[in-house]
Amino acid sequence: MTQTAYINARLLDPASGLDEPGGLLTDGKVIADFGPGLFKGKTPEGADVIDCGGHALSPGLVDMRVHVREPGEEHKGTLATAGAASAAGGVTTIVCLPGTHPVIDDMSVVEFIARRARQVGLAKVYAYGAVTKGLEGLELAEMAMLAEAGAVAFTDGVKAVGDAQVMRRALSYAATFGLLIVQHPELSSLTQGGAMNQGETATRLGLPEIPREAEIIMVERDIRLVQMSGGRLHFAHLSTADSIEAVRRAKDQGLNVTCDTAPPYFALNETSVGDYRTFMKLSPPLRSEVDRQAVVEGLKDGAIDAIASDHAPHDEDAKRLPFAQAAFGGVGLETLLSVSLELYHNGHMSLLDVLGRITCCSADVLGLAAGRLQKGAAADLTLFDPERGWKVDADALLSKSKNSPFDGRPVQGRVLRTVIDGRTVFELS
């Protein structure tokens, strides 16, 4: 077994609150030891030595919401290109959404993704199973069997489970087996044909509107269904003050409800659409400045449990269209850390708190053994310089599709090295 000694590191582990200078030793695929003063100037004989230069060494990032596009839409992205983008972003574990072709509503597709991910040998890839067959919102998928095959939770991806009775059944069924349902909270009858957040900017641009109430009503409805069913529910990418407040209240009542958001919702607002910039067309849409600030508050006080990239690659043809016709979604794996660190650089949260939202907190929601520095745990690590500035250049991203809402944005925080199972899979040149 090859040992690697990481010396002169700033060890960061949000799960335990560790933030101290020290070292870390990997032995083959696992963390053998770590801590302040680990090597006391002496590294084990025969070990490879990596000098971290005083930079931050943390658990690898866990991204709980990624569209990989394989199988079925390989022209937009593949497990290999998502893996390369993950590695460049310091992400060692990703969870892929079920909107593939075929849909992940069958055990064979879960197994295909696991097999392909092993062949690629980059980020560890887990899959969501579909809540309903074909993501059609009508008939429940075989969730227990999908879970047996390795699905970590259940969602209809970018479609909400719109029918309240179907959602109630899904929550009750999932509760029987201890499974988690993840909802994209959007009332489709209010969003149909809409292109951006309802408000002054949409009116000025003459674009069809999506009211924020579409998210709020769905969140409030589903919280009631959790009360009725005793199920576990996670809301994806919350973007409005009222829905975050509803989750806060539900948690205060002891309901089994969690949620995440994505970097665009705390780093951008609806004015970023500017002159019909289709890279800014996201689902949910970018909201008002008041809502953006509420997302920051929700992250600060813990109402929002995690941050996910919501990585949604699209080819040029899908984005080079008039705004109203362009596809929803942006890539985010390579900017997840840097944009999230704005919360730290702007004084909203501590470095450990920000890091926790993209490591142990995401892993905890899904019950994954990831996102922590632990002896005997997989050696999945991210070495980064939280202070190093760079400018996002969509064309330079490793993602197959380049539709980044952060294109041209100056950011602070750069991944220097990514390690998966003790192997370096990315090193900044």
Residues acting as catalytic residues: 310
User: How many Å apart are CA 286 and CA 273, to the nearest integer?
Assistant: 8
Give the C-alpha separation, 47 to 315, whole Å: 44
Sheet holding 61-66, edge to edge: 61-66, 91-96, 124-127
Q: Which two tokens stand for residue 5?
A: 């000694």
Three-state SS for 59? strand
Question: If residue 200 lies in a helix (H) or strand (E), which one and from where to where?
Answer: helix 200-205
The dihedrals phi and psi of 143, each to the nearest 5 degrees, come to -60, -40
Rounded to whole angstroms, how far apart are CA atoms 38 and 11? 11
Identify which of 377, 383, 358 has the alpha carbon closest to the alpha carbon of residue 421. Answer: 377
φ, ψ dihedrals at 362, nearest 5°: -60, -45
Which two tokens mark 281? 């067309």
Q: What Å distances lie between residue 314 and 87, 98, 134, 261, 282, CA to CA?
A: 20, 16, 21, 20, 11
The gap between the terminal CA atoms of the chain, to the nearest Å, is: 27
Structure token pair of residue 116: 């392909």
Backbone angles phi, psi at 335, to 5 degrees: -110, 0
Instruction: Return the structure tokens found at 7.
Output: 């010396």
Closest to 337 in 3D by CA, of 156, 26, 30, 86: 86
